[in-house]
Structures are given as C-alpha cells and as structure tokens.
Amino acid sequence: MSDPTNELCGITIDITPGYSNANIRKQCRTLLWENDEINSKFKRVLEGANIQYMTLLINRQFTPPSYLRVCTDASGYEDSDEGTRIEVFSLDFDFYGDAEMEEKVSDIVMDDSTGRAICKQLRTILVRYIAEILPDAKLKWQLEIAEYRQQ
C-alpha cells in the first residue's frame, strides 16, 4: 500500500535578487514582500510552476511505481553580507512516497544536473515575473542550492 506521507528527501534553493539601484529595490520591495513576509503572489509564483517542473524532471528519469508527491514552500528573510542588507528567498522542495522509491528519487534530486535545471527554470520564471510588472527593472538573480536532505 502506498504511503504518501513518508518523506523521501528534499532540496532547498536560495534566491537572492540583485538590484541595479536603490530606486529599483524600493519598487521591487512591494512586489516581493508584504510587511516582513514574502508577498503571497510572489510565493505562489515560486511554488506553483516549480512543482510541475520538478515532477517532470523526475518523471523523465524514473516512473514511480506508486504515488510520488512533490511539495514546495517559499519563504523570505533579510540578512547581511559584509554589512550590506540582502534579501534571501528560500524555496524548499519535499518529496513524499513509498520507502521503496527513496534511493531512486534521492539520486535524481541530488544530481547536480537536476539542481542546475531547476535553477535555470526558476530564473526564467523570476525574470518573467518582474518583467511583467516592472518592465524597466532588470534584476540579477543569484540562485544556489543551499541544502539537500535525505531521510
């Protein structure tokens, strides 16, 4: 019997926007933040399309014998880097399913090519999101895999 609540593995991608100037940063702030939390529309953009893409990446390499569930959660926080305030958005992917799939799904998720592919897709989504709302705002998005999790 399938157990869709069994966590198999996970990955976290950190996203840091790079602003060309203080005015662009101020304009983008309202698009990316609601008070001290991640903006709900931005959160949906990060989470929604990336679930589908990650599922597609896995299904290209492996046909799960039972139900595989991919969940995402996006959050944001402010940090400092050498005295400069930076914004960091984290996108967590968690994979759930039968224990028999753990090794295969973990291998795919932890493969560097999977991380690079999801970062490339995510960058495209981020550029499109900002371009639709603020066409003059050119941001440099820094994306990095912050953590792999195995059970």
Phi then psi dihedrals of residue 150, to 5 deg: -120, 150
Alpha-carbon Rg for the chain, nearest whole angstrom, is 17
Mean pLDDT (the chain) is: 89
The amino acid occupying position 36 is: D
Please give the angle made by the CA atoms of 128, 129 and 131, to the nearest 5 degrees.
60
Residue 4 has pLDDT above 70, yes or no: no
Q: How confident is the model at residue 15, as a pLDDT?
A: 95
The residue-averaged pLDDT of 102-114 equals 93
Q: What is the pLDDT of residues 26-77, one digit of tens each?
A: 888 888 999 889 999 999 999 987 888 898 889 899 888 888 899 999 999 9
The residue-averaged pLDDT of 2-19 equals 87
8 Å CB contact between 12 and 90? yes
Neighbour tally for 122: CB within 10 Å = 20
For a pLDDT cut of 90, what percent of the chain falls above it?
A: 57
For a pLDDT cut of 70, what percent of the chain falls above it?
A: 97
- pLDDT band with cut points at 50, 70 and 90 for residue 142: very high
Q: How confident is the model at residue 42, as a pLDDT?
A: 94
- pLDDT band with cut points at 50, 70 and 90 for residue 88: very high
Q: Whole-model pTM?
A: 0.89
Q: How confident is the model at residue 64, as a pLDDT?
A: 83
